[in-house]
């Protein structure tokens, strides 16, 4: 079987250098796309469905972590999820976090010997669990099952806890500021540079990223169910699963249904 790859790197010289080193370290690997930013990485990955993704952590717009989440969430059902390799300039302390979600990681500038070891590890993973068990040990050798990757990616994307939880939202409306108790919010939804705040009777807009907001919410009260949606679990009336396995949520006090991505579907397993 011919395996394919995508490289996402916003610096052209580094992208070409990685491409050249990959050609030497893994000649059979076929490069199907080069992406210059996170949005392009998502689009090209879902178009070509490569076996391996080489994602730079810091890219313009959507970073490598956000791109990885979007790719995994929108990856077609029935296709094995790709192996993800993060390429980063972070020091070894920060890399402890990336190890939970990635098949491997590479530090910039990428060293040929380290890339060779990475390629050998990936080839062993692709050959099957037994081969992976016999491969040389590295930073991580996580399981190959899709569920394991989803769990690690979900953990990586979880915001760091904050000692003070947000109790009230201050929403600007022209010259007025409206105070919205957080307990009254049914769900939050990302909308470009804003977040939509949905209560039973009204919709508000706040100029804040969903990631920033998440770090201030109580994770026992508000559950992320999609990269762009966070719902208050008490407002969920029912979780419906269709024939393809996709889950949607029905709410007590809102008519719309909310889609649950595969990254967060594990929250809604029947007991």
**Residues 149, 177 share a domain:** no
Among residues 128, 157, 186, the one where a domain terminates is 157
Same domain, 87 and 140: yes
Give me the torsion for CA of 48, 123, 111, 18, rounded to 10°: -20
pTM: 0.70
User: How far does the chain reach from its first CA to its final CA, in angstroms?
Assistant: 39
Same domain, 139 and 172: no
Share of the chain above pLDDT 70, in %: 82
Would 162 be classed as within a structural domain? Answer: no
pLDDT of 263 reads 82
The pair of structure tokens assigned to 150 is: 């989803």
Do 73 and 36 fall within a single domain?
A: yes
- Domain containing residue 50: 4-157
Structural domains of the chain, count: 2
Q: pLDDT tens for residues 159-186?
A: 555 557 899 999 987 788 899 999 999 9
Does one domain contain both 128 and 236?
A: no
- Check whether residue 144 and residue 184 sit in a common domain: no
Residue 242 covered by a domain:
yes
């Amino acid at each position: 079987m011919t395996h394919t790859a995508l490289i996402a790197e916003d610096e052209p010289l580094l992208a070409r250098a990685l491409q050249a080193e990959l050609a030497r370290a893994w000649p059979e690997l076929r490069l199907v796309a080069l992406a210059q930013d996170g949005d392009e990485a998502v689009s090209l990955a879902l178009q070509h469905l490569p076996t391996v993704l080489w994602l730079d952590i810091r890219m313009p717009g959507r970073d490598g972590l956000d791109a990885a989440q979007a790719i995994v969430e929108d990856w077609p059902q029935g296709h094995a999820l790709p192996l993800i390799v993060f390429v980063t300039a972070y020091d070894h302390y920060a890399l402890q976090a990336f190890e939970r979600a990635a098949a491997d990681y590479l530090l910039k500038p990428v060293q040929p010997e380290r890339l060779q070891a990475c390629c050998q590890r990936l080839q062993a993973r692709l050959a099957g669990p037994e081969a992976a068990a016999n491969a040389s040990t590295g930073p991580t050798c996580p399981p190959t099952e899709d569920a394991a990757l989803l769990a690690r990616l979900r953990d990586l994307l979880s915001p760091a806890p904050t000692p003070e939880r947000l109790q009230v939202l201050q929403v600007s409306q022209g010259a007025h500021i409206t105070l919205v108790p957080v307990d009254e919010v049914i769900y939050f939804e990302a909308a470009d540079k804003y977040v939509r705040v949905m209560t039973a009777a009204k919709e508000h807009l706040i100029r804040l990223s969903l990631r920033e907001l998440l770090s201030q919410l109580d994770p026992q009260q508000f559950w992320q169910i999609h990269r762009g949606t966070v719902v208050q679990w008490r407002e969920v009336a029912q979780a419906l699963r269709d024939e393809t396995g996709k889950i949607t949520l029905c709410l007590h006090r809102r008519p719309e249904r909310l889609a649950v991505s595969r990254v967060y579907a594990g929250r809604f397993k029947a007991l």
